[in-house]
A and B are shown apart, each in its own frame.
Chain A
Amino acid sequence: MADLDERAVARPAEDPFGEYGVYSRVRDGLRAYRMIAAMWIRSTMAYRASFAMTTFGNFAATSFDFVAILLMFSQVDELGGYALPEIALLYGTSAVAFGLADLLIGSMDRLGHRVRDGTLDTLLVRPVPVLAQVAADKFALRRLGRVTQGLFVLGYALATLDVAWTPVKVLMIPLMVASGGLIFCAVFVGGAAFQFVAQDASEVQNAFTYGGVTLLQYPPSVFAKDLLRGVTFLLPLAFVNWLPGLYVLGRPYPLDLPTWVAFAPPLVAVACCALAGVAWRAGLRTYRSTGS
């Protein structure tokens, strides 16, 4: 009893390392995410055959993009000045990065429904961050299909590319995938935050996520400069694969940018995540439930 009262009187820790500081929230969030995702995985695994089929379906459906590129190359030798293995590198890295983000938090695009029908209420009364609950909701392991498909294309690219591999270039590949995944995660979270305000915005979000990854699968040279500026400076998707990828391939970026930007993706990713986090908090504050 005394213990309870003491807790009631104690002010929240302003200290970010304290019990209710930023770090412990992130830790709590990750823990809750793992718990919820694990539960969904367990329940999916109860129907193994169905899981295998949907995963394969996911693999096949996402493969069509690359099949389309292959068909194009049966007619031409290069696209925007790029050979097939080069395009495969751009495609593979962005597909894996996006696939990972989609696997981890892809179900966030349904947030608008929860906001509109007020079912977000039930998540708000639980002692774990709402973001973690929304992100892990209906965790779908079948989305590994897309990641696998991307890995195949990436493997093909790495096996056939004619590049003088240096340690830096080798290291660049996993770095691209990791920071690219984070950038896409930030886009997912930012899009979800926007759905607090515009509950029908999942289409808009899809345009940026699914549309964005389709864009990145082609070399930047086929797009107009204005579009490139947009995805470099506004929504920094160019940092997912183009800028670091072109460094690996030893090609210049169509916009006049210094070489070091090829190493910027981790920083850009962190900045995007921070921004998305701020947007999420602002969005959540606007939530006002529904009558009933």
Chain B
Amino acid sequence: MNDRFIELDRIEKVFDVRKKTGFLRRERREVRAVDSISFTVARGEMVGYIGPNGAGKSTTIKMLTGILTPSGGRLRVAGIDPSRERTRLARRIGVVFGQRTTLWWDLPLIDSYRLMHRMYRIPDARYRENLGRCVELLELGALLDVPVRQLSLGQRMRGDIAAALLHDPEVLYLDEPTIGLDVISKAKVREFLKDLNTEQGTTVLLTTHDLQDIEQLCRRVMVIDHGRLMYDGPLTGLHEVGESERTLVVDLERELPPIEAAPARVVRVEGPRQWLAFPASESAAPLVARIASAYPLVDLSVREPDIEAVIAQMYAQQAVSNAVS
């Protein structure tokens, strides 16, 4: 039961898009926003859900919260079918949309919280405790009496995160919670989410375009593109899947023609310095030995592929294979 807290089985979402092509003429087109995705998330996990723009991340979250009904497949969150029993599920989940607020725009922040208190029927003691913790950790104290529309983006986001947690949700969905935040705010939010997950055991699923969020928070990451799940596993495993390359930076005694040392290939030359790319799965030692025996070496270093580049490559590859198919 517990290891299948969130369960998606071949979930699909197809949007019917109608476009006006002329006077009274309309063209119908189907957009497969989510295309047969299956995964499960256990209670207490913290999962990153990433992918390029338009990959279907937000659509997935909307189905998980019951906002959208899947076009096909089976979906359960805590044993509940979200779109059929949306209201019942609502008590048990928290949602933060980075792009829009769930707070009451024209009213002071504290009014939204008071209303949540009664709307979710949160016991008084729990409410005070949760609000107190959020106010302290998210530094909301000075903002409580400010109307939401006057808050800055980062302040509002922190306010939204607190609002999503007052009722002790079992799972928290965050759709781009760090979008537009400065470095300090981001760090604060990440710290808070980490504590929430480890101390309260809240299950967290977050989408983001900031890979640092994932690196610092999630042991598990799912990559989705064109509505399909491309990768599901630990962040480090992405290197292997992504056919990523490491770089060998070689400083020679003098300028020389490009080094020949397959499978490495020279990708850049700058005076006596040359950059060689080789598959991340290859060991660097024999390569270094070969180069050292054939060329006058001064210095050398190996650079690991950064995750950012791996993912960029993965997105790009996907785009190419889609163009081909």
A118, B175: Cα distance in complex, Å: 14
Q: Does B150 contact A (CB under 8 A)?
A: no
The answer to whether B62 and A289 touch across the interface, beta carbons within 8 angstroms, is yes
A292, B104: Cα distance in complex, Å: 20
Query: Which listed residue (A4, A43, A119, A129) contacts B87, Cβ 8 A?
Result: A129
A35, B118: Cα distance in complex, Å: 8
Chain A residues with CB under 8 A of B85: 12, 20
Q: Does A3 contact B (CB under 8 A)?
A: no
The answer to whether B65 and A127 touch across the interface, beta carbons within 8 angstroms, is no
The answer to whether B118 and A121 touch across the interface, beta carbons within 8 angstroms, is no
The answer to whether A43 and B107 touch across the interface, beta carbons within 8 angstroms, is yes
A288, B13: Cα distance in complex, Å: 11
Q: Mark B85-109, 1 if CB is under 8 A from A, else 0.
A: 1111011010101011110101100
Q: Provided the pairs A20-B85, A289-B62, A291-B58 are in contact, do residues A124 and B67 lie with their beta carbons within 8 angstroms? A: yes
The answer to whether A35 and B119 touch across the interface, beta carbons within 8 angstroms, is yes
Q: Provided the pairs A35-B119, A39-B115, A292-B58 are in contact, do residues A125 and B65 lie with their beta carbons within 8 angstroms? A: yes
Q: Does A128 contact B (CB under 8 A)?
A: yes
A122, B148: Cα distance in complex, Å: 15
Q: Does A49 contact B (CB under 8 A)?
A: no
Q: Does A9 contact B (CB under 8 A)?
A: yes
**Distance (Å) between the CB of A93 and the closest chain B CB?**
34
Chain A residues with CB under 8 A of B118: 35
CB-contacts of A116-170 with B (<8 A): 118-119, 121-122, 124-129, 138
A9, B85: Cα distance in complex, Å: 13
Chain A residues with CB under 8 A of B90: 125-127
Query: Which listed residue (A20, A39, A289) contacts B114, Cβ 8 A?
Result: A39
The answer to whether B80 and A122 touch across the interface, beta carbons within 8 angstroms, is no
The answer to whether A124 and B66 touch across the interface, beta carbons within 8 angstroms, is yes
A142, B261: Cα distance in complex, Å: 82
**What is the size category of the interface that chain A forms with chain B?**
20 to 34
Q: Provided the pairs A35-B119, A125-B93, A125-B102 are in contact, do residues A12 and B88 lie with their beta carbons within 8 angstroms? A: yes
Most buried by A among B67, B78, B86, B111: B67
Query: Which listed residue (B1, B101, B111, B119) contacts A128, Cβ 8 A?
Result: B119
Chain B residues with CB under 8 A of A125: 65-67, 86, 90, 93, 95, 102
Considering the complex, give the chain A residue whose CB is closest to the CB of B81: A12
Most buried by B among A12, A39, A125, A138: A125
The answer to whether B107 and A8 touch across the interface, beta carbons within 8 angstroms, is no
A59, B68: Cα distance in complex, Å: 42
A63, B86: Cα distance in complex, Å: 44
Chain A residues with CB under 8 A of B80: 8
CB-contacts of A3-57 with B (<8 A): 4-5, 8-9, 12, 20, 25, 32, 35-36, 39, 42-43
The answer to whether A4 and B65 touch across the interface, beta carbons within 8 angstroms, is no
Q: Does B72 contact A (CB under 8 A)?
A: no
The answer to whether A122 and B87 touch across the interface, beta carbons within 8 angstroms, is no
**Distance (Å) between the CB of B273 and the closest chain A CB?**
44
Q: Does B15 contact A (CB under 8 A)?
A: yes
Q: Does B170 contact A (CB under 8 A)?
A: yes
Chain A residues with CB under 8 A of B67: 121, 124-125, 289
The answer to whether B79 and A8 touch across the interface, beta carbons within 8 angstroms, is yes
Considering the complex, give the chain A residue whose CB is closest to the CB of B54: A291
The answer to whether A124 and B86 touch across the interface, beta carbons within 8 angstroms, is yes
A288, B69: Cα distance in complex, Å: 8
Considering the complex, give the chain B residue whose CB is closest to the CB of A124: B67
Chain B residues with CB under 8 A of A9: 79
The answer to whether B119 and A126 touch across the interface, beta carbons within 8 angstroms, is yes
The answer to whether A122 and B88 touch across the interface, beta carbons within 8 angstroms, is no
The answer to whether A43 and B91 touch across the interface, beta carbons within 8 angstroms, is no
Q: Does B295 contact A (CB under 8 A)?
A: no
Q: Provided the pairs A4-B170, A291-B54 are in contact, do residues A121 and B62 lie with their beta carbons within 8 angstroms? A: yes
Residue pairs across A and B with Cβ atoms less than 8 A apart, 5 shown, are: A9-B79, A39-B115, A124-B65, A125-B67, A138-B106
